[in-house]
């Protein structure tokens, strides 16, 4: 599928925003479905290992925790900003065969989705680790179910690269800045873990033509009889 456009554009922010809307509108539904799908496996794991059954419910993402672009400050954000999802389109490269067409532009655009989940100290590290993996599963489900991102791109170029980070421990500072003084007071510990999905999407844009696109050659300095 090629899109008809008036001006050439790699469409980085357009693609980024379209992917953002897909996740904003569908991710929490996908998270609920992933939670349901894992219940039987979690129960089987507990039975097989003789351990207590601990349900792992990946938390829904609050509206303010869907982020456009790269946001490094989230690493230091308070616990209320977790879980969160960031969407960024950051590079467009010429697609194969793009040089063969005068009125068509083909791009391969790199699209990244980064996730961060949390678990309390009581829930434990293993719950945080499972949430991290199930969150990226839910994200990928949303995007694979919407391959054109609402009609903005032609589709995905292959399957994504998916990874999760190591697990980190945090303690939020308690009180306001004036009350903390030189020795900050800290709240209870909690865990967070990140995920990253890297996609390549195809954007094919067709420039509109106006009238007859054929141009006869011109020969400067020659009269009609001399041609």
The per-residue pLDDT for range 130-159, each reduced to its tens digit, is 999 999 999 999 999 999 999 999 999 999
- Please name which of 193, 175, 221, 70 lies closest in space to residue 132, comparing C-alpha atoms: 193
User: pTM for this one?
Assistant: 0.80
Average pLDDT, the chain: 84
- The mean pLDDT of 193-203, rounded to a whole number, is 96
pLDDT at 205: 72
* Distance (Å) of CA 109 to CA 6, 94, 159: 20, 9, 14
pLDDT at 104: 67
Six token digits for residue 133: 């993996």
pLDDT at 98: 53
Between CA 151 and CA 131, with CA 159 as vertex, the angle to 5 degrees is 100
Token look-up 């039987």 returns 40
Count Cα neighbours of 70 within 13 Å in the Cβ-side half-sphere: 5
Six token digits for residue 158: 């292959």
- Please name which of 12, 7, 4, 3 lies closest in space to residue 201, comparing C-alpha atoms: 12
Size of the chain in residues:
227
pLDDT at 169: 95
Strand-pairing partners, residue 224, are: none
Token look-up 């993996």 returns 133
Give 55 or 28, the one with higher predicted confidence: 28
Residues 34 and 137 sit within 8 Å (Cβ to Cβ) = yes
Give 104 or 91, the one with higher predicted confidence: 91
Instruction: Give the span between the Cα atoms of 31 and 10, in whole angstroms.
Output: 31
Six token digits for residue 135: 């969150």
Instruction: Give the span between the Cα atoms of 17 and 150, in whole angstroms.
Output: 10
* Distance (Å) of CA 57 to CA 41, 141, 142: 13, 17, 18
Which residues have CB under 8 Å from 101's CB, separation 6+? none
């Amino acid at each position: 599928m090629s899109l008809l456009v008036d001006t050439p554009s790699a469409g980085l922010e357009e693609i980024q925003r379209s992917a953002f809307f897909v996740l904003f509108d569908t991710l929490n539904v996908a998270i609920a479905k992933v939670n349901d799908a894992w219940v039987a496996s979690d129960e089987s794991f507990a039975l097989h290992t003789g351990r207590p059954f601990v349900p792992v419910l990946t938390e829904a993402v609050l509206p303010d925790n869907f982020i456009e672009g790269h946001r490094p400050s989230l690493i230091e954000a308070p616990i209320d900003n977790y879980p969160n999802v960031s969407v960024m389109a950051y590079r467009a490269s010429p697609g194969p065969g793009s040089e063969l067409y005068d009125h068509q532009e083909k791009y391969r655009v790199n699209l990244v989705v980064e996730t961060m989940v949390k678990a309390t100290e009581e829930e434990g590290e293993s719950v945080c680790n499972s949430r991290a993996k199930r969150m990226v599963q839910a994200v990928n489900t949303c995007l694979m179910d919407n391959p054109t991102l609402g009609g903005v791109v032609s589709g995905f170029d292959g399957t994504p690269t998916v990874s999760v980070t190591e697990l980190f421990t945090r303690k939020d500072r308690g009180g306001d800045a004036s009350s903390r003084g030189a020795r900050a007071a800290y709240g209870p510990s909690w865990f967070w873990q990140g995920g990253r999905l890297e996609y390549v999407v195809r954007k094919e844009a067709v420039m509109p033509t106006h009238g007859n696109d054929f141009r006869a050659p011109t020969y400067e300095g020659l009269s009609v009889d001399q041609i």
